[in-house]
């Protein structure tokens, strides 16, 4: 049922427990970054979908920084326009994982949701630098446990004040948030098959930041971010090679990291930027394969690296990373878990779809978790 009291709403959303009736109702997805908010809504019946609405609106620099709302009034005006333009009411939204903590815990086996949550709360302060009273969390049971009396859970935590700031903002502009979750959760729901138990690293290559996550047995097990992105590539193309701003995306999509006999310096300039991304991926790849968990075991081997994000569409990026990292790299299929109606053709092209991965995941939540 709809909850009008912000206090009651916060108690539900801050525990990441969406009311089932709300979750089943049609909702649009909002994906926030420091520079834009993306909107997507799927229309579907029995998992046969069409795209009802989509778009993106610019957020000026400084309004949001690393997930924190620094200019509430400015963001409020943007969301008012978004609500009117896209006719939004119920929304699911993602929050950047810069503010999130993800870890694995072992708790006593129980059929009681309350008992599991109490067990997690009891151990939480040993794993995150914020108190239980300041923390909001969700968890997923890690499947295929061989233990009789305990279970392993993947826990994701966000500071209460961060979540509350978004909830109150939605309320002020007349939107009802059905749920909030970290971006890595939504992306994984979109790009990894529901029953896939293998281990993957997802790299979300954005404009000024990159998110890294590892999904194993269907559960987010690791997240990290780095203040790197594709913005320097745009600047190089515009300032060093004097390419017009409106032509930059075309050059990135058609030439990118491909050696050109006529312009060898273009490849070298772009490779210098992307090599930083390669090094950051490698650091996390090594960490995952050397860091021991609560059983003293290292993580399962990463089967492949999946690329998403608005700057992942740089032509040749996949091959460059694959050659340098010696591991399989693929562009994400953000529609992997979306079955379109026979008469419904996706109106978002492949390059642009990479920036909608988390939005697709938000839309899928209502169908995957009834």
Q: What is the pLDDT of residues 15-29, one digit of tens each?
A: 444 444 444 457 899
d(CA 366, CA 215) in angstroms, rounded, equals: 20
- pLDDT (mean) for 58-78: 93
Spatial strand order in the sheet of 219-226: 219-226, 210-216, 199-205, 304-308, 329-331
- pLDDT (mean) for 304-309: 97
Residue 189 has pLDDT above 50, yes or no: yes
pLDDT at residue 6, as a whole number: 38
Residue 235 has pLDDT above 50, yes or no: yes
- Rg (the chain; Cα; Å): 21
Q: Which of 3-7, 44-48, 99-103, 264-268 has the lowest mean pLDDT?
A: 3-7
Q: pTM here? A: 0.89
Residues 6+ apart with CB under 8 A from 360: 29, 40, 42, 186, 190, 334, 335, 338
Give SS3 for 228.
coil
d(CA 13, CA 10) in angstroms, rounded, equals: 5
Q: Which CATH number is associated with domain 6-368? A: 3.30.420.40
pLDDT at residue 25, as a whole number: 54
- pLDDT (mean) for 173-199: 93
d(CA 249, CA 194) in angstroms, rounded, equals: 33
Q: What are phi and psi of 61, to 5 degrees?
A: -55, 135
How far are the Cα atoms of 141, 191, 344 from residue 116, in angstroms, in the given order? 10, 28, 42
Query: How many CB atoms lie under 10 A from the CB of residue 46?
Result: 7
Residue 31 has pLDDT above 50, yes or no: yes
């Amino acid at each position: 049922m709809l909850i009008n009291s912000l206090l009651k709403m916060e108690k539900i959303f801050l525990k990441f427990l969406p009311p089932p009736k709300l979750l089943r109702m049609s909702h649009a997805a909002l994906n926030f970054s420091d520079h834009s908010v993306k909107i997507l809504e799927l229309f579907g019946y029995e998992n046969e979908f069409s795209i009802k609405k989509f778009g993106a609106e610019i957020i000026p620099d400084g309004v949001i920084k690393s997930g924190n709302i620094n200019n509430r009034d400015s963001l409020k005006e943007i969301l008012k326009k978004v609500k009117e333009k896209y006719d939004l009411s119920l929304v699911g939204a993602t929050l950047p994982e810069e503010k999130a903590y993800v870890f694995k815990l072992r708790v006593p086996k129980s059929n009681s949701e309350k008992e599991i949550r109490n067990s997690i709360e009891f151990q939480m302060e040993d794993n995150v630098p914020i108190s239980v009273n300041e923390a909001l969390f969700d968890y997923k049971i890690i499947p295929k446990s061989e233990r009789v009396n305990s279970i392993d859970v993947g826990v994701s935590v966000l500071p209460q004040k961060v979540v509350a700031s978004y909830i109150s903002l939605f309320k002020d502009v007349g939107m009802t948030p059905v749920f909030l979750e970290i971006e890595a959760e939504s992306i994984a729901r979109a790009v990894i098959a529901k029953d896939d138990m293998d281990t993957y690293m997802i790299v979300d290559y954005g404009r000024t930041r990159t998110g890294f996550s590892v999904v194993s047995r269907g559960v987010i097990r690791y997240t990290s971010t780095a203040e790197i992105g594709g913005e320097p590539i745009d600047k190089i193309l515009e300032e060093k090679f004097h390419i017009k701003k409106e032509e930059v995306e075309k050059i990135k999509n058609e030439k990118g990291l491909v050696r050109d006999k006529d312009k060898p310096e273009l490849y070298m300039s772009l490779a210098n930027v992307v090599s930083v991304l390669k090094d950051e991926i490698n650091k996390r790849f090594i960490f995952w394969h050397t860091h021991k968990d609560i059983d003293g075991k290292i993580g399962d081997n990463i089967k492949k690296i999946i690329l998403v994000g608005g700057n992942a569409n740089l032509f040749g990026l996949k091959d460059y990373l694959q050659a340098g990292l010696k591991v399989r790299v693929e562009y994400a299929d953000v529609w992997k878990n979306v079955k379109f109606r026979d008469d419904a053709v996706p109106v978002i092209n492949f390059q642009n779809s990479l920036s909608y991965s988390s939005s697709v995941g938000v839309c899928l939540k209502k169908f995957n978790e009834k």
